[in-house]
A and B are shown apart, each in its own frame.
Chain A
Amino acid sequence: MNAAGFPLLSLLTFLPLAGAAIILFVRGEEAVVARNARWTALWTSLLVFFLSLILWVKFDTSSAGFQFEEKLSWLPEFGVGYHMGVDGISVLFVLLSTALTPLCILASWEAIETRVREYMVAFLILETMMVGMFAALDFIIFYVFFEAVLIPMFLIIGVWGGPRRVYAAFKFFLYTLLGSVLMLLAILYLWYNAGTTDIPELFEYQVPRAAQTWIFFAFLASFAVKVPMWPVHTWLPDAHVEAPTAGSVILAGVLLKMGAYGFLRFSLPLLPEASVQFAPLIFVLSVVAVVYTSLVALAQEDMKKLIAYSSVAHMGIVTIGIFTINAQGLSGALFTMLAHGVVSGALFLCVGVLYDRVHSRDILRYGGVAKIMPSYAMVFMLFTMASVGLPGTANFVGEFLVIVGAWRINPWVAFGGALGMVLGAAYMLYLYRRVIFGKLTKPDLRALLDLSPREYAVFAPLILLALWMGVYPQPFLDFFEASVAALVQRHEAAMSVSRLAGM
């Protein structure tokens, strides 16, 4: 049995489904059903969050192995089983998912007025898929969760999204599906050749050098779309702009991390030689992503689109960190992923606050908001600074580590990453100045109310996290340390074997 004494990860994964089932069976007047659905969803997600804190407390940070493991036979003769577990790489993402979901539900409290019941059901199903994906230790189970995320997200964007929601939903779905099916073929190849899809067992299997290249590109097709890397990032701005606020938060906070997580979990350990061989390609794509999307972000008129492009840039830094394959780069990448999950999620919530009041995301529609919404301006400033990577906030630690790690590989890559931070400061401050400062020329803005208690409740935990991660990052880094060290060590062992073989 695992450290919790009961199947904790399965409970975290499937408890939201139970909540969704309860919501579905509520009948009655629409207003009653809506209120019921909101509260049930909130309590379910809070319960899941509090249960997930057991992971935080009981996780043994000194061990690199998988913990809280659960195994059930599913198709034993095929070598496929239901296997759950977390290690230092995945555990914090489970926590990130469970922490963001209640905040999202709270953020949609008043923003979602139609079909509330269906919305909450979709969100809880989404939570199941996210948690399951990070906890899955079987490749087929992973793929099931990885793909199943598309269904609730498609509905969330398409039903509750903005004016071009249909286009955005289709683009999101088909883009990611196209990438994933190629990965499916690679999974099938591994399955057939290794005789198992159990991830720890797959780690023992050495993929033939010739096959590594193909598998690497098949994985890349899937993960690059999810991250998203340049040039397959174009679905992201559309999806972000059209999705409802909470959808954007989950998209930026958790779904983008799925691709990077895939690289860490599968590409690096399974394909060590191909990862080294094609790391320069990744670096080039990432640096282009960082610089290009930062410049694009500078020119945006739409707040959400700007933050969406900034996400692509930040994720570029993450992919640089992953493919440095050294301790600093990997820890930095993981930390940036977490920090970005918190900060960009919070930024989308900030935009959502204004959108709920004015129903416009147009930057020029605002100006001088600081005078009427001072608390909001404070919160927004904090997250702007965090996004820029001001020391003392979350992003700084991660990006700094990535740049240190990249410097060891190639100073130019580090320079590219650093350039992203400079440009990041430019577009975020420019956004902040145009929205918050300046003269209050739009008369209707005078009527805006400052943050409501509900909004304070949404932002407070995020502020706390963003500052905590910036000021005292060690508890978070402790989680990664052992697993990252083991990953680097495994990688070096594999590389030395292949070097010997090559002599």
Chain B
Amino acid sequence: MTWTLALPELVLAIAGLVILVAGVLPKQETFFPVSMACIGSLLLAAVLVLGQPEGTALGGHYVADDFSGFMKLLAIGGAAIGILLSLDYNTKEGLGRFEFPLLMLLATIGMMVMISANDLLSLYLGLELLSLPLYVIAAFNRDSARSAEAGLKYFVLGALASGLLLYGSSLVYGFAGTTNFDRLADAFSADSGVTAGVVVGIVFVIAGLAFKVSAVPFHMWTPDVYEGAPTPVTAFFAAAPKVAAIALLARVLVGPFGDLAGQWQQVITLVSLGSMTLGGFAAIGQRNIKRLMAYSSIGHVGYALMGLAVANDVGLRGLLVYMAIYVAMNLGTFAVLIAMRRKGRAVEQVEDLAGLGRTDLGTAVWMAVFMFSMAGIPPLAGFFGKLYVFLAAVQAGFWTLAVVGVLTSVVSAYYYLRIVKVMFFDAPAGALDPAPASLTVVMAASGLFTLFFVLWPAPLLAAAQAAAAALLG
């Protein structure tokens, strides 16, 4: 039997069920111990992923390789830190219920299935397992109209995207006669295998996945959901599920549809151009910082997709490095946003950060590091993320992408700088409450990573290189 290959997912699923029972039984609220147990199981899963051999399992539905290892570690890391970020906030906001970390855990299993999917069916299964818990936690603050709206909006549009994806899959299945990635690749490697129906199917699949990564033109839900959902949920949304969806997009396009690159490259190029441009310009006018981060994440997805548009090993390496760095700095940024509380109330306007450089220098410095990094200013990590995708675009002669990319990065630098300006140049608007230890730790950890990535970039690059090579096979 080869099912042991899927040990990380299986262990995590069993742990989830056990924790669910253990969380229900006690009389008092078990938010904190359940959170700790979830983080523990995620770490266990990460260790198992590290020791996972390569191969396919479960009748060809499941694949484990360097690529899945890299992406799963990112997703698990993002999820674990996501739970860590929610501890303090949820307790203070009265959202400290044990279902919360558990739903994140279930979503993480979905991500891992997605990343390891080797069949259109397991892809869909993983995607739904990811999406359903996300709908729930987006609306987790059920007494808040905004949160409920976010959940509902996400659900309706997400269901639509799932429908598109399924429709695309069925078209591909109808024209190619299989849903298995390896056999699809074989079918398309012969020139005769490409028909208009398949291309339409691919476009639908891309549309469904573009919705999940919130790329233009399927980004409309992002600002509303990011703004309405409780901040730790937004932090989670912006990190782990995005990694999983990008991984899935890369695997589907490069794997089974690899020989059709000429067909989908232009779609991805357009999506990337649109995302970078919208992410750059639309964020300028935002006053709510969560909304601003939503547009910023749309922009970042655009840069990451630039690596996919190039569709070679250098591009994929750029994509992977970009996602890793993006997750790290994004979690740090959200740690700061979650820490934004004044007199016990959460605040989320950009102006609320005014004068943070005087009232809380430590937090302000970390936030400035993240903002400069997101703007792509060296020597911070964000610069190197951009460097490797731009390198790929230049190498492959995608000059439009590269030039638009650098120009929009200057545009987006404006709004990142605005946050720095508000924190350091403006007069204080009253001190924020001191940040709890859990948030300070996350800030410092991702801040140190962002600052000192420049010194040891080689390990991450080597891992990304191996992962990209595995995907191209």
Evaluate contact between A155 and B394: CB separation under 8 angstroms. Answer: no
Evaluate contact between B379 and A188: CB separation under 8 angstroms. Answer: no
CB contacts under 8 Å to A, within B391-445, are: 391, 394-395, 402-403, 406-407, 409-410, 413-414, 417, 420-421, 424-425
Q: Does A340 contact B (CB under 8 A)?
A: no
Report the minimum CB–CB distance from A252 to chain B (whole Å): 23
Evaluate contact between A159 and B425: CB separation under 8 angstroms. Answer: yes
Q: Beta-carbon contacts of A426-447 to B below 8 Å, as 1s and 0s?
A: 0000000000000000000000
Report the minimum CB–CB distance from B421 to chain A (whole Å): 6
Closest chain A residue to B408, Cβ basis: A181
Query: In the assembled complex, which residues on chain A have CB atoms less than 8 Å from the CB atom of B378?
Result: 143-145, 147-148
Query: In the assembled complex, which residues on chain A have CB atoms less than 8 Å from the CB atom of B448?
Result: none
Query: In the assembled complex, which residues on chain B have CB atoms less than 8 Å from the CB atom of A412?
Result: none
Residues of A in contact with B (beta carbons under 8 Å apart)? 74-75, 78, 115, 118, 140, 143-145, 147-148, 150-151, 154-155, 158-159, 165-166, 169-170, 173-174, 177-178, 181-182, 184-185, 188-189, 191-192
Q: List the one stretch of B29-37, B67-75, B141-149, B454-462 in contact with chain A.
A: B454-462
Cα distance, A181 to B303, chains bound together (Å): 15
Query: How many residues of chain B are within 8 Å of chain A by beta carbon?
Result: 30
Q: Using known A-B contacts A177-B413, A181-B409, A181-B410, determine if residue A166 contacts B377 with beta carbons closer than 8 Å.
A: no
Evaluate contact between A185 and B425: CB separation under 8 angstroms. Answer: no
Evaluate contact between B394 and A158: CB separation under 8 angstroms. Answer: no
Query: In the assembled complex, which residues on chain A have CB atoms less than 8 Å from the CB atom of B361?
Result: 118
Evaluate contact between B406 and A184: CB separation under 8 angstroms. Answer: yes
Cα distance, A75 to B394, chains bound together (Å): 19
> What would 24 A/B residue contacts be, using CB atoms closer than 8 Å?
A74-B458, A75-B457, A75-B458, A75-B461, A143-B378, A154-B420, A155-B424, A158-B421, A159-B424, A165-B425, A170-B414, A170-B417, A177-B377, A178-B407, A178-B410, A181-B410, A182-B403, A184-B387, A185-B394, A188-B390, A188-B391, A189-B394, A192-B391, A192-B395
Query: In the assembled complex, which residues on chain A have CB atoms less than 8 Å from the CB atom of B391?
Result: 188, 191-192
Evaluate contact between A177 and B425: CB separation under 8 angstroms. Answer: no
Evaluate contact between B394 and A166: CB separation under 8 angstroms. Answer: no
Q: Using known A-B contacts A173-B413, A192-B391, determine if residue A148 contacts B407 with beta carbons closer than 8 Å.
A: no
Closest chain A residue to B375, Cβ basis: A177
Q: Does B370 contact A (CB under 8 A)?
A: no
Q: Which of B377, B406, B414 contacts A148 (CB 8 A)?
A: B377
Q: Does B372 contact A (CB under 8 A)?
A: yes
Q: Which of A118, A154, A181, A189 contacts B417 (CB 8 A)?
A: A154
Evaluate contact between A115 and B425: CB separation under 8 angstroms. Answer: no
Q: Does B219 contact A (CB under 8 A)?
A: no
Residue among B358, B378, B421, B458 with max Cβ neighbours from chain A (10 Å) = B378
**Consensus secondary structure, chain A interface:** helix
Query: In the assembled complex, which residues on chain B have CB atoms less than 8 Å from the CB atom of A150?
Result: 377
Q: Which of B379, B458, B461 contacts A144 (CB 8 A)?
A: B379
Q: Does B62 contact A (CB under 8 A)?
A: no
Evaluate contact between A174 and B414: CB separation under 8 angstroms. Answer: yes
Report the minimum CB–CB distance from B364 to chain A (whole Å): 10
Going nearest first, the 5 A-B pairs with the smallest beta carbon separation are A181-B406, A144-B378, A188-B394, A192-B395, A158-B425
Evaluate contact between B377 and A151: CB separation under 8 angstroms. Answer: yes
Q: Does B140 contact A (CB under 8 A)?
A: no
Report the minimum CB–CB distance from B351 to chain A (whole Å): 14
Query: In the assembled complex, which residues on chain B have CB atoms less than 8 Å from the CB atom of A191?
Result: 391
Cα distance, A144 to B372, chains bound together (Å): 13
Query: In the assembled complex, which residues on chain A have CB atoms less than 8 Å from the CB atom of B383?
Result: 144, 147
Evaluate contact between A166 and B425: CB separation under 8 angstroms. Answer: yes
Q: Which of B387, B394, B410, B458 contacts A174 (CB 8 A)?
A: B410
Report the minimum CB–CB distance from B26 to chain A (whole Å): 44
Q: Which of B395, B407, B413, B421 contacts A169 (CB 8 A)?
A: B421
Cα distance, A140 to B384, chains bound together (Å): 10
Query: In the assembled complex, which residues on chain B have CB atoms less than 8 Å from the CB atom of A115?
Result: 357-358
